[in-house]
Structure 1
Amino acid sequence: MISYLVLTPPGGARDDRPARLIADKGRWLAFFFPAFWLLFHRAWLAGIAVLLLQTVPAVLLADVAESWQATLAGMVLNIALGLLVSLEGPLFVAGRLVAGGWTLADIVPAPEVGLAEAAFAERQAASRAATAPALPGGAAAGNATYDLFGPQGVR
């Protein structure tokens, strides 16, 4: 099962605009191209930092490229950066959205995004029904009267 982070847009009620679901799982494209994946998802500072971490050691180690230790160090660094961005990149994007005013509304476990959307909609409907205010005058409770401390019985 995949956990989906459900983010609602800033401003207005939660039902005004559609929520954004972000799957908390690894991304293969982010593993093979971490800097470009971050830049594509508008994580500019992190993307530039990863790009520098990938290219600067390669340029600096170009003189000792015949050494197997330098080649191994470059490979380990690229694999580590790829794993980091692949596994934590979606959470980084979600954190950037939350910093921009989006709200983390729910975390929904589901095997696919369509079922996650349906589960979130069902949870929203259930929470709206549970938090619906009781009508004064007893329209919903058989004509019970209400005072400061709660219902006073049925008349």
Structure 2
Amino acid sequence: MISYIVLEAPGGPDRDHRSTRLIADRFSWLAFLFPWIWFAVQRLWWVAIGLVILQVAAGQVSALNGLAATGLVFALAAASIAGFEGRNLVVRDLLSRGWTFKTVVAAPDLATAEDMYFASLPLSETGVSNTVPHTDWKRDTKSGSYKTNDPAGSFQFDLNGRR
């Protein structure tokens, strides 16, 4: 099971919750393999710049005589920290920007986590109404026939079968 951290945008959720983010709390292979690029894509600029400096420093250390293994370990340590803590840094950055922590959902995949979270919301928050629209029949005073206000579009024909 993977834990998904649920965050809502600073202005509150949209009507259909498109701004709500579920972030997996797990190892990120892309952050491990391409740390500074991954952080730049996540818009964590200072972390990306710091990782560029660390990788350049690791390359310089590995170029020194007899310190090749040390530079490699240094670069792998920086990449491992990025892989394990990258998503945590993204969550912390969003929280510092005003996003609201809602809950943690444990699920096997993202689709199941979304289903579990949105199913637990009250209907007023999801924007979905559980009332069935009903047809409002009104008698037209001029022609004597019935007119309808049909919000669901279920009655496409009038009582005589005409469109």
TM-score range, shorter chain: 0.7 to 0.9
Q: Mark the runs of 5 or more structure 2 residues left unpaired by the alignment.
A: 126-163
TM-score normalised by L of structure 2:
0.69
Supply the distance in 2 between the matched residues of 1:104 and 1:41 (Cα, whole angstroms).
18
User: 1:21: Cα distance to partner?
Assistant: 0.6
Supply the distance in 1 between the matched residues of 2:90 and 2:71 (Cα, whole angstroms).
26
Give 1:4's aligned residue: 4
Give 2:35's aligned residue: 34
Give 2:52's aligned residue: 51
Aligned-residue RMSD, C-alpha: 1.9
User: 1:120: Cα distance to partner?
Assistant: 0.5
Supply the distance in 1 between the matched residues of 2:47 and 2:93 (Cα, whole angstroms).
11
TM-score normalised by L of structure 1:
0.72
Supply the distance in 1 between the matched residues of 2:107 and 2:124 (Cα, whole angstroms).
19
Q: Please give the per-residue CA displacement for 1:61-112, whole angstroms capped at 9, x wherever unaligned.
A: 53x24x1xx1111111111111111011011011111111110111000000
Alignment counterpart, residue 99 of structure 1, candidates 81, 96, 99 = 96
Asked whether 1:74 is paired with 2:74, we answer: no
Alignment counterpart, residue 113 of structure 1, candidates 107, 110, 114 = 110
Look at both structures and tell me which one has the larger radius of gyration over its CA atoms.
2
Supply the distance in 1 between the matched residues of 2:21 and 2:48 (Cα, whole angstroms).
22
Asked whether 1:124 is paired with 2:121, we answer: yes
Supply the distance in 2 between the matched residues of 1:60 and 1:32 (Cα, whole angstroms).
20
Which letter maps to 1:55?
A: V
Is the Cα contact below 8 Å between 2:61 and 2:68 reproduced in 1? no
User: 1:15: Cα distance to partner?
Assistant: 5.0
Supply the distance in 1 between the matched residues of 2:35 and 2:52 (Cα, whole angstroms).
8
Which letter maps to 1:24?
A: D
**Helix, strand or coil at the partner of 2:121:** helix
Bigger helix fraction: 1
User: 1:114: Cα distance to partner?
Assistant: 0.6
User: 1:60: Cα distance to partner?
Assistant: 5.1
